[in-house]
Amino acid sequence: MLKLTNIVVRDVRDRDGYKLGRLVEAHDGTESGVIEAARRVSDRMFAEYSDASNIESRMCATDTTGKPKWAVSPNFLHLAEIGTDEASYIWGDLDAHNSRGLTR
């Protein structure tokens, strides 16, 4: 049975947003561990899905209870708690930052 705690999930999609698959990698619960797992799952994505889009393929990480906790940016530079404006922005909601005067 798949363990859903402390994992990074990459929802693999092509440039038109069509779902191609889903990939999972374990992390150690630290921010750096989440980023490292995100890099591994992204490497797998490009190796396994030639039509994968880095921007369209969103990533999230679960916590020790298995609840989705963080949004991970496609360039691995940002980690934001789900439910925040930053997480919405990472996942492509431009209104989340535009309302605060921030730009992409």
Q: What is the pLDDT of residue 100?
A: 46
Residue 101: what pLDDT?
A: 47
- Residue 70 falls within a domain, yes or no? yes
Domain contains 56: yes
| Structural domains counted in the chain | 1
Position 37 in a domain: yes
pLDDT for position 98? 52
Provide the pLDDT for residue 2: 63
pLDDT of residue 85: 92
Asked whether residue 35 is domain-assigned, the answer is: yes
Backbone angles phi, psi at 88, to 5 degrees: -60, -40
23: domain range? Answer: 7-98
Q: What is the pLDDT of residue 103?
A: 44
Tell me the pTM.
Answer: 0.85
- What residues of the chain score a pLDDT lower than 70? 1-2, 94-104
DSSP the chain: ----SSEEEEEEEBTT--EEEEEEEE--SSHHHHHHHHHHHHHHHHHH-TTB-TTTS-EEEE-TTS-EEEEE-TTSS-EEETTSHHHHHHTT-HHHHHTTT---
Q: Is the residue at 1 inside a domain?
A: no
